[in-house]
Amino acid sequence: MVSSRPTKSWLLNYRPNPHASLRLFCFPYAGGSAGAYRSWPSALPLSVEVCPVELPGRGSQIQQQPFTRITQLVDALAEALLPFWDKPYAFFGHSMGAIISFELARLLRAQGRREPSHLFVSGCRAPQIPGKTNSTYNLPLPEFLDELRRLKGTPQEVLEHEELMQLTLPLLRADFEMVDTYRFEASLPLDCPITAYGGLQDDEVPREKLEGWREQTTSNFILRMLPGDHFFLHSAQPTLLRILSQDIQQVAQTLKR
């Protein structure tokens, strides 16, 4: 499935920055949207053009059918964002978004296109490390809601609002299906450096599962642990953005050499 939708419909509030030396594409977690990165342009260096990616089924693409397979999604992304591969870029993805960015980087390499200058992965175990064997996306509603509460990624006011949950459930189930059905296929490591971020209190993705990302690059690997659980992306956002700003500046300096 390849999208014929306008490229900008895949990006939230896209503002071209001709002075930027690097584009940063940001991919959401399961059930999330590009809105999670709305404030990032003002918090990151001016040399970075922040591109929050809006996936089908949410935000400006809420009328579009959400994907249920990562392979199909990255195929569509590689085509839809084709005009943006013309200058150096990096990927940032949290949880599901990290796997999307990783597989998109591998697909672009296979297509002979420009590869990312850096991969920033957050709150996600290394892809070669097996996850849970039981599926979540097809659980009966009460058990599915219990899982959402356990993960703490869905606001309580949404969980308690029946009409909102009716609107949100199809997207949540589709995203969880995308994660549950993902199967890593071994290939050559990426050439770009990888920086992984994790939450010190994240029981879902402990430090040892983040360390595995080291195997997915022939270049440098850095692991940074921040305070918070699986959604430190929100709870520790000021700290994350400060560290990410420093990391991105290092990438930009490398590009100038």
Q: Using one digit for the tens of pLDDT, what is the confidence trace for 91-113? A: 999 999 999 999 999 999 999 99
Going by pLDDT thresholds of 50, 70 and 90, the confidence category of residue 201 is very high
For residues 15-22, average pLDDT:
88
Going by pLDDT thresholds of 50, 70 and 90, the confidence category of residue 7 is low
Cα–Cα distance, 80 to 61 (Å, whole number): 13
**pLDDT above 90: residue 128:** yes
Q: Is-above-0.85 flag for pTM? A: yes
The answer as to whether 21 is a domain residue is: yes
For residues 116-136, average pLDDT:
92
Comparing CA positions, the residue from 78, 100, 84 lying closest to residue 34 is 100
**pLDDT above 50: residue 2:** no
Q: What percent of the chain has pLDDT over 70?
A: 96
Among the listed residues 3, 95, 101, 122, the single catalytic one is: 95
The answer as to whether 250 is a domain residue is: yes
Cβ-Cβ contacts under 8 Å for 48 (sequence gap 6 or more): 17, 20, 21, 22, 23, 24, 248, 252
More confident residue, 212 or 135: 212
At 132 the pLDDT is: 75
Q: What percent of the chain has pLDDT over 90?
A: 71
Cα–Cα distance, 227 to 216 (Å, whole number): 25
The answer as to whether 152 is a domain residue is: yes
The answer as to whether 1 is a domain residue is: no
Cβ-Cβ contacts under 8 Å for 206 (sequence gap 6 or more): 198
The answer as to whether 51 is a domain residue is: yes
For residues 76-92, average pLDDT:
94
Going by pLDDT thresholds of 50, 70 and 90, the confidence category of residue 177 is very high
For residues 22-49, average pLDDT:
94
Cβ-Cβ contacts under 8 Å for 132 (sequence gap 6 or more): none
At 232 the pLDDT is: 95
At 222 the pLDDT is: 97
Cα–Cα distance, 148 to 154 (Å, whole number): 6
- Which of 5-9, 224-228, 248-252 has the lowest average pLDDT? 5-9
**pLDDT above 70: residue 6:** no
The CATH code of the domain that includes 120 is 3.40.50.1820
The answer as to whether 136 is a domain residue is: yes
At 39 the pLDDT is: 93
At 8 the pLDDT is: 62
Return the amino acid letter for 6.
P
At 257 the pLDDT is: 64
The answer as to whether 194 is a domain residue is: yes
The answer as to whether 2 is a domain residue is: no
**pLDDT above 50: residue 1:** no
**CB neighbours of residue 131 within 10 Å:** 14
Q: Domain span at residue 136?
A: 7-256
Tally the domains of the chain.
1
Cα–Cα distance, 232 to 225 (Å, whole number): 10
Cβ-Cβ contacts under 8 Å for 143 (sequence gap 6 or more): none
Residue 95: active-site member: yes
Concatenating the DSSP letter of every residue in 73-131 gives: HHHHHHHHTGGGGGS-EEEEEETHHHHHHHHHHHHHHHTTPPPPSEEEEES---TTS--
